[in-house]
Amino acid sequence: MFRVLFKCAMVMVISVACSLLITGIIMTANDMHDVRGYMIATICPLVISPAVSFLVFRQSEKLRLTLDKLGQVMRELEVTNAKLLEKSSRDSMTGLLNREAFFNHIEDVRQKRASSLLIIDADHFKKINDVHGHYNGDGALMAIAQCITDCVGDRDSIGRIGGEEFAVCLPTDDQALVKSMGENIRSAVSRIDFRTPENLRLPLSVSIGGVAGLANRTIADHFQIADRRLYEAKRNGRDCVIIEPNMQNAA
């Protein structure tokens, strides 16, 4: 309200000054000097301008406050939408990217830089669920997810793409580096000290299949190749890493 009253006072002063100036110019031009003219030139703006300017400025202030509130609501809506988008792209249990979000991520990454793919599958996971219950199975999955995150470092490059299956996008197409990262993850998972509420230690391990270099073929093709390498690792006794060579570099 103070802003409105201050603006009204300024308008009133300016109106009176302009009215007196115009009246003075007209009287001088016509060689007229009547004090009543100056009185009228003073009174009229004093009577008219406060009411008119108050209505105008009050509406303007209301509009300003409304726009400020609208801007605040829009900012809050943007934050809410961002949170909803983030939540919709995450697996509810592990917090990693879900399958669709990971596919979109890896497609975007490989367009910008050299990249490779690892698919990681928890060994004997059905046995953990069947023997020790789904509560312990979920705990094992979360422990493996955290272990992969600790090894990779970039949480946004890891996805949970199936029940007990994870995927990792690596920023390299060097087969040795991809193999090394896979071995680091495999070894780290095998060292997890996972225990049930009864303090029974459950040994964990993973089998890993991968593709070094994603420049050629479609993402679906690369996933199929990595999946074949994963099942080759399963057939070889599990708890091992098999990587498809980078055919582009080999050529």
Report the alpha-carbon distance of residue 69 to residue 151 in Å, rounded. Answer: 45
Report the alpha-carbon distance of residue 22 to residue 15 in Å, rounded. Answer: 11
Angle at 73 between CA 68 and CA 76, to 5 degrees: 125
Report the alpha-carbon distance of residue 226 to residue 116 in Å, rounded. Answer: 10
Q: Which of 61, 78, 107, 164 is catalytic?
A: 164
Q: Is 78 a catalytic residue?
A: no
Q: Which residue has the tokens 């949970």?
A: 160
- For residue 154, how many C-alpha atoms fall within 13 Å in the half-sphere facing its CB? 12
Hey, how many other C-beta atoms are within 10 angstroms of the C-beta on 70?
Answer: 10
User: What values do phi and psi take at 163, rounded to 5?
Assistant: -55, -60
Cβ–Cβ < 8 Å for 228, 243: no
Report the alpha-carbon distance of residue 248 to residue 228 in Å, rounded. Answer: 19
Report the alpha-carbon distance of residue 105 to residue 13 in Å, rounded. Answer: 64
Report the alpha-carbon distance of residue 167 to residue 132 in Å, rounded. Answer: 25
Q: Which residues are catalytic?
A: 164
